[in-house]
Structure 1
Amino acid sequence: MSEKSKNIKHLTLIPLVLMIFTSVYGFNNIPRSFYKMGYAAIPWYILSGITFFIPFAFMMAEFGAAFKDEKGGIYSWMAKSVGAKFAFMGTFMWYASYVIWMVNVASTVWVPISNAIFGTDTTKTWGLLGLTGPRFLGILGIFWIIFVTIISTKGLDKIKKVTSLGGTAVALLNIVLFIGALLVLVGNHGHLAQPITGISSFIDSPNPKYVGNILQSFAFVVFAIFAYGGIEVVGGLVDETENAEKNFPKGVVISAIIISIGYSLGIFLVGIFTNWSTIMTGDNVNLANAGYVVMNNLGYSLGNAYGATQATSIAIGHGVARFVGLSMFLALSGAFFTLMFSPLKQLIEGTPPKLWPGKMAEMKNGMPQNAMWIQAVIVCVIIFLVSVVGGDSMKKFIEILVSMTNVAMTLPYMFIAFAFAPFKKNKAIIKPFEIFKTNTSALIWTIVVMFTVGFANFFSIIQPALEGDLPTTLWSVGGPIFFAVVAFIIYWNYERKYIKNL
């Protein structure tokens, strides 16, 4: 019995690679990237992979191997490398990014539900009691947050039942895209729906917003960095990995290479059956439903390539969209139930209990229930504010949510990367695995990673304002600033009450 438990508890290399892959690789990032830039997104993914994802993954591997016995995750890494205050600020910003993610997904999870039921996105027409579009989805999002919080506070067993379906659903989606695209290519005798006319096809975007607008292209880098996000979460798996000093870094490296290639290949596969100008330019297409539009088109193109009637091709398209809608709903639900407690629990358990006022740090059923309800209230308030500001324009509403999420979830990487250089210099920290052999190489790659993230976020934040879209800029920067101030106040109060009185 004990041997069986041991086998279940410890991850070998292949399960670790699969777990990292499913934690980082987001299927929806592929059609969204094609919607924004077409094939021209591929070089930016490759560049972001080289200057951010792969070196950052190597950093996570070194951190993880060195602190494999630590339970505090990234907080422990930064605290032992830089200091407790810096670690708390960085970890709180990291946690806050998931709060913003919840705001986004709670308001857009209804798009896959619509596709699962109707075979297309009809959320633009939904309404009740005079509330339509973003406002109605915002209200539904608030009810969703309350529902998920109620279930999540009951304990981990309730959550596992939902999350197990999510991983399988995402894996199937990628298989459908890969096989479906190749079948369309064969059926169309090698003809690409989005033609390649030379190297310019991978440089010049078909999207008019990006033509001659280098600021838009620079801003896209933050989208690519967001797509690579999540590698820091698996740092907490080191102590559960068999032969961690060897297998964990190897698993991270293998996963990083597969994911980098996977995104670029996926964007190309979409171009096999999707013509950007024909499919992606409709008023009903936005960042929330781009994946369903693309996959609906895959089904239609599949029927069309093999001589099916128009009606049959449309029916196949709706069928694929329903499958994608159900799969994405299961995947998003699984992620939501996990992220409702996991980052918050890591934040509370990894930091000094006295940091948290009242009974926030109190655990019930293995969950920080009081903190989870405070979190739910904050998320609901933000959803309400953003859905009202979003007005009646569904596309504008989605763009604000996506921009907020991208910025919030990538800024904390600057904190983690910054801690790497002092981590390497600290000889007291035993480092069983090292990719960066010298302090100089570590410093150079720390600067490269921080510059890439900072550069991308700077342009992502200012670009909307320069084009007259001030609300998107304000919302993008407002969330991180708000949570940075909250983190500062919490730690200042902790220092005032406990540290300075010692």
Structure 2
Amino acid sequence: MDDQQNNKKKLSLTALILMIFTSVFGFANIVRAYYLMGYASIIWYVLAAITFFLPFAFMLSEFGAAFKDRKGGIYSWMAESVNPKFSFVGTVMWYASNIIWMVSTGISIWIPLSNGIFGVDKTQQWSFFGLDSVQSLGVLGVLWILFITFVSSKGLDKIEKVTNVGGVAVALLNVVLIFVGIVILFLNNGQMAEPVTMSGFVHSPNPDYGSMISVFSFLVFAIFAYGGLEIIGGLVDETENAEVNFPKGIKISAIVITVGYGIGIFVMGIFTNWTFAFTQFSSADITLGNVAYVAMNNMGYQLGLALNLSESVAMEIGVWMGRYIGISMFLALTGSFFTLAFSPLKQLIEGTPKEIWPKKWTKTKNGLPVYAMYVQAAVVIAIILFVSFGGKGAKEFFEIIISMTNVAVSIPYMFIVIAFYGFKKNESINKPFVIYKSNTHYKWIVVMVTFVIGFANVFTIIEPALHGRYTETFFSIIGPIFFGGVALYLYNRYEKKMGIK
């Protein structure tokens, strides 16, 4: 009875914004962007925000206000705007992208925990039962998935408490980065570690991003940095005064996240000289999975030097900064994990026709499809074991799973954007909140956002193959193709079962 009462409690505007921060803002994306392209990454993050994130956020605002009483999230939106089959394929592919996210994060979440405990990343030295480090992380990932699923199955009220803590941790991380960066700048008499030049904002110092194909492929990193907003769609009916607060929460979060990324990347240059750092970043011990913690350790070290402290004390400050960042990131990722463990699956099961799924999958306990959550856990665990025991080194391993996540996350956005075109054309749908009032405006926006997503993915898929990394290209495309095929099979079987032509 208590669980039912808690489940009926509506989310406030502040709680909604914190959930959006937990699901969307990735502190590591700031450091990865600087690591890959230096100051030049800012223009691509801003371009991704202007051509994808902000227009997409405004689309979701209109969707959310119009379908504020629907429980199916993006499936309900697309089904009423286009048709159920289109919606089902798009929703399954979107759901699959969250499966891939859980795979990558279930393994990489131990990096921030290691930093939180030791101040540095020691995961590549971990070895259990004779397994190498990558395989050991895979085993830990399996245990983590089981833990998250068990706790999540106990009810939404427990999940909300964790995600609120995660949201605060994410916000504070950016505040700490900016504040410490400004302090270092002041102590160094305004001297930037990475000189500010006009060419630096256009051309990457990274030789790997010297060609146009490589530069364009970076766009998907920028798009991925803004991913996750659509997950909140399943919480429209849980939001207090949703018609007003849901669009407002999305708009506020979208603008703050965009500005936060741009400022954060620039602040990196205050204490990190890219050319010098690249010799460290090129080390075999540095990966896309741990580069954020290495950079923040360096921030603490540079703070110590700016304060004229001894070398040993400066290094100790770096270790404690690494610990703080590690714990904060661990909390933030844990909050995201609890949301993603149930929200996408809840939208998939509750929104789609129940006849598609086995009866056990549709049964709920504590307001959640618990049996389906354990099936989901089994799938994630199987993929983790497959990827982690694939024999790849740590650096290549993380590049592959991050590539899998980027493409798998962004392709389903095209379905939502195309559905928005049908949504605007359908005059029978009540639209209490409208941003795109002109017919020409919304059509142009739909074409632009669809092109940006498609363009980014094409370059991301072909770029590794052009450099001989065929495995990376394979993992980038296999997920969307496989789950798209599974979706069509399931829906066609449903149509035959129900006699739908």
TM range (shorter): over 0.9
Q: Which residue number corresponds to residue 227 of structure 2?
A: 229
Residues 96-123 of structure 1: CA deviation (Å, up to 9, x unaligned): 1110000000111111111111111111
1:158 Cα deviation after fit: 4.1
2:9–2:238 CA contact under 8 A, matched in 1: no
1:456 Cα deviation after fit: 0.3
Matches within 5 A, 1:176-325: 176-196=176-196, 198-211=197-210, 213-282=211-280, 283=283, 284-325=285-326
1:359 aligned counterpart, secondary structure: helix
1:81–1:426 CA contact under 8 A, matched in 2: yes
Seen in structure 2, the aligned counterparts of structure 1 residues 358 and 294 have a Cα distance that, compared at 3 Å, is same
Residues 18-74 of structure 1: CA deviation (Å, up to 9, x unaligned): 443443222111111111111110000111111111111111111111111212111
1:64–1:236 CA contact under 8 A, matched in 2: no
Q: Which residue number corresponds to residue 66 of structure 1?
A: 66
1:394 Cα deviation after fit: 0.7
Residues 2-33 of structure 1: CA deviation (Å, up to 9, x unaligned): xx999962534x55444434432221111111
Are residue 474 (structure 1) and residue 474 (structure 2) matched? yes
2:39 aligned counterpart, secondary structure: helix
1:421–1:439 CA contact under 8 A, matched in 2: no
CA distance in 2, matches of 1:427, 1:260: 32
1:75–1:350 CA contact under 8 A, matched in 2: yes
Q: Which residue number corresponds to residue 145 of structure 2?
A: 145
CA distance in 1, matches of 2:307, 2:70: 56
Residues 214-236 of structure 1: CA deviation (Å, up to 9, x unaligned): 11111111111111112222334
Structure 2 gap ranges (5+): none
Matches within 5 A, 1:89-128: 89-128=89-128
Residues 192-227 of structure 1: CA deviation (Å, up to 9, x unaligned): 11111x21101111212012x111111111111111
1:189 Cα deviation after fit: 0.7
Q: Which residue number corresponds to residue 85 of structure 1?
A: 85
1:408 Cα deviation after fit: 0.8
1:90 Cα deviation after fit: 0.8
1:286–1:398 CA contact under 8 A, matched in 2: yes
Seen in structure 2, the aligned counterparts of structure 1 residues 250 and 154 have a Cα distance that, compared at 3 Å, is closer
1:247 Cα deviation after fit: 4.1
CA distance in 2, matches of 1:19, 1:91: 21
Q: Which residue number corresponds to residue 343 of structure 2?
A: 342
2:279 aligned counterpart, secondary structure: coil
CA distance in 2, matches of 1:361, 1:404: 29
Seen in structure 2, the aligned counterparts of structure 1 residues 247 and 160 have a Cα distance that, compared at 3 Å, is closer
1:11–1:240 CA contact under 8 A, matched in 2: no
Seen in structure 2, the aligned counterparts of structure 1 residues 188 and 162 have a Cα distance that, compared at 3 Å, is same
RMSD (Å) for aligned C-alpha atoms: 2.0
TM-score for both structures, normalised by structure 2: 0.94
The total of aligned residue pairs comes to 494
Deviates more, 1:402-411 or 1:227-236: 227-236
Residue identity in the other structure for 1:248: F
Deviates more, 1:247-256 or 1:317-326: 247-256
CA distance in 2, matches of 1:5, 1:388: 42
2:113 aligned counterpart, secondary structure: helix
Q: Which residue number corresponds to residue 488 of structure 1?
A: 488
Q: Which residue number corresponds to residue 406 of structure 1?
A: 406
CA distance in 2, matches of 1:489, 1:266: 44
1:159 Cα deviation after fit: 3.2
CA distance in 2, matches of 1:466, 1:484: 26
1:133–1:393 CA contact under 8 A, matched in 2: no
1:440 Cα deviation after fit: 2.3
| Identity level (%) | 55
1:465 Cα deviation after fit: 0.8
Residues 125-173 of structure 1: CA deviation (Å, up to 9, x unaligned): 1112331122221122122212222222233344345334322222221
Residue identity in the other structure for 1:73: G
CA distance in 1, matches of 2:128, 2:9: 48
1:37–1:206 CA contact under 8 A, matched in 2: yes
1:492 Cα deviation after fit: 1.2
Seen in structure 2, the aligned counterparts of structure 1 residues 244 and 169 have a Cα distance that, compared at 3 Å, is closer
Residues 72-102 of structure 1: CA deviation (Å, up to 9, x unaligned): 1111110000001111111111111110000
Residue identity in the other structure for 1:478: I
Q: Which residue number corresponds to residue 154 of structure 1?
A: 154
CA distance in 2, matches of 1:243, 1:139: 43
2:363–2:369 CA contact under 8 A, matched in 1: yes
CA distance in 1, matches of 2:161, 2:8: 21
Seen in structure 2, the aligned counterparts of structure 1 residues 160 and 20 have a Cα distance that, compared at 3 Å, is closer
1:128 aligned counterpart, secondary structure: coil
Matches within 5 A, 1:369-380: 369-380=370-381
Deviates more, 1:447-456 or 1:132-141: 132-141
CA distance in 2, matches of 1:280, 1:103: 28
1:300 Cα deviation after fit: 0.4
Residues 279-298 of structure 1: CA deviation (Å, up to 9, x unaligned): 24321221111110111011
1:135–1:392 CA contact under 8 A, matched in 2: no
1:435 Cα deviation after fit: 1.5
CA distance in 2, matches of 1:246, 1:365: 28
Structure 1 gap ranges (5+): none
2:408–2:476 CA contact under 8 A, matched in 1: yes
Are residue 352 (structure 1) and residue 350 (structure 2) matched? no
1:240 Cα deviation after fit: 4.5
Residues 467-493 of structure 1: CA deviation (Å, up to 9, x unaligned): 100001101111111111111111111
1:133–1:392 CA contact under 8 A, matched in 2: no
Residue identity in the other structure for 2:128: L
CA distance in 2, matches of 1:156, 1:194: 46
1:44 aligned counterpart, secondary structure: helix
Q: Which residue number corresponds to residue 173 of structure 2?
A: 173
Q: Which residue number corresponds to residue 331 of structure 2?
A: 330
Seen in structure 2, the aligned counterparts of structure 1 residues 460 and 83 have a Cα distance that, compared at 3 Å, is same
Seen in structure 2, the aligned counterparts of structure 1 residues 444 and 499 have a Cα distance that, compared at 3 Å, is farther
Deviates more, 1:410-419 or 1:68-77: 68-77
2:93–2:483 CA contact under 8 A, matched in 1: yes
Residue identity in the other structure for 1:207: N
